[in-house]
Amino acid sequence: MADGVLTQRYPAGWKSTLATDSSVTTQGVWVDDRFRFADAPHRYTVDDQASLKWNFSGTSLVIRLAGQNTSSYPGTGLPSHGKLSVYVDGELSNTVYPAREGREFIAATNLASGTHELLLVHTTTPDSKGVRVESFLTADQPLGIFSFAVTAELQEYLNDVRFIVSKEGRIVRSSVGRNWLTGNCSISLPAGQAFDIRIEALGWDSQLITTPIINQNTPSNSPPVYLRRSPNTTQYRFRSPRLNDQSIRQPGEDFTARFLGFDAKINEVRIRRQNGGVIFSRVLSYIEDTEKAFYYDRQIVITLPDDTPPGVYDLEIDIVGGRRTSTCRSPSSVVIVKEYPKHPRFITFGHLDTSGQYQAEYVQRIATMANIIGVDMVLASNSVNAAYLSGALSNLQMPYLINFGNHQVYGHHRWYGPDLGGVNFGSNLFVLNYGLPWHEPIEPVVAKLEKHRHAKTKVINAFEHNAPDALLDEFRIALIHDAHGPGDKLMKMGNTPTQRVGKSNSISFRLVELFGGKVINATYNKHPTAPIPFARDEQPPLRVQMLSSTKATIINEYKQPFPKAKITFLAPQGKYVPTQGIIKSFSLSDNGRYAEVVVEIDLEASSTSSITLTPQ
Give the pLDDT confidence of 30-42 residue by residue, as tens digits: 999 987 888 899 9
Sign of CA dihedral 356, 358, 359, 365: positive
CATH H-level, domain 542-615: superfamily: Golgi alpha-mannosidase II (2.60.40.1180)
The type of residue at 259 is F
Closest by Cα among 467, 462, 468 to 432: 462
Asked whether the bond before 497 is cis by omega within 30 degrees of 0, the reply is: yes
Above 60 in pLDDT, residue 72? Answer: no
Q: Using the 8-state DSSP alphabet, how is residue 472 labeled?
A: H
Burial of 444 (0-12, 13-18, 19+ CB in 10 A): middle
Sign of CA dihedral 245, 269, 237, 450: negative
Radius of gyration of the chain (CA): 26
pLDDT band at 74 (very low <50, low <70, confident <90, very high): very low
Assess contact for 532 and 558: CB atoms under 8 A.
yes
CATH code of the domain occupying 15-227: 2.60.120.260
Closest by Cα among 613, 200, 247, 235 to 422: 247
Who's near 74: CB < 8 A, 6+ residues apart? Answer: none
542-615 has the same fold as 345-533: no
Concatenate the DSSP letters of all residues of 68-80 into one string: PPPTT-GGG----
Assess contact for 553 and 610: CB atoms under 8 A.
yes
Query: Residue 487's Cα: distance from chain center in Å?
Result: 28
What are 486-523's pLDDT values in tens digits?
Answer: 999 999 999 999 999 999 999 999 999 999 999 999 99
Q: Dmax of the chain from CA atoms?
A: 82
Concatenate the DSSP letters of all residues of 109-149 into one string: -SPPSSEEEEEEEEE-BTTB--EEEEEEEEESS-EEEEEEE
Question: What is the Cα–Cα distance from 12 to 15, expressed in whole angstroms?
Answer: 9
What are 250-270's pLDDT values in tens digits?
Answer: 999 999 999 999 999 999 999
If one compares 133 and 68, the residue with the highest pLDDT of the two is 133
Phi, psi of 70 (to 5 degrees): -85, 160
CATH code of the domain occupying 231-336: 2.60.40.10
Question: What is the Cα–Cα distance from 500 to 461, expressed in whole angstroms?
Answer: 10
Q: What pLDDT, on the 0 to 100 scale, is given for residue 3?
A: 46
Assess contact for 459 and 429: CB atoms under 8 A.
yes
The full set of domain ranges for the chain reads 15-227, 231-336, 345-533, 542-615
Q: Does this model's pTM top 0.75? A: yes
What are 321-353's pLDDT values in tens digits?
Answer: 988 999 999 999 999 999 999 999 999 999 999
Pick the CATH number of 345-533 from 3.30.160.270, 3.20.20.70, 3.60.21.10, 3.40.50.300: 3.60.21.10
3-state secondary structure at position 65:
strand
Above 70 in pLDDT, residue 574? Answer: yes
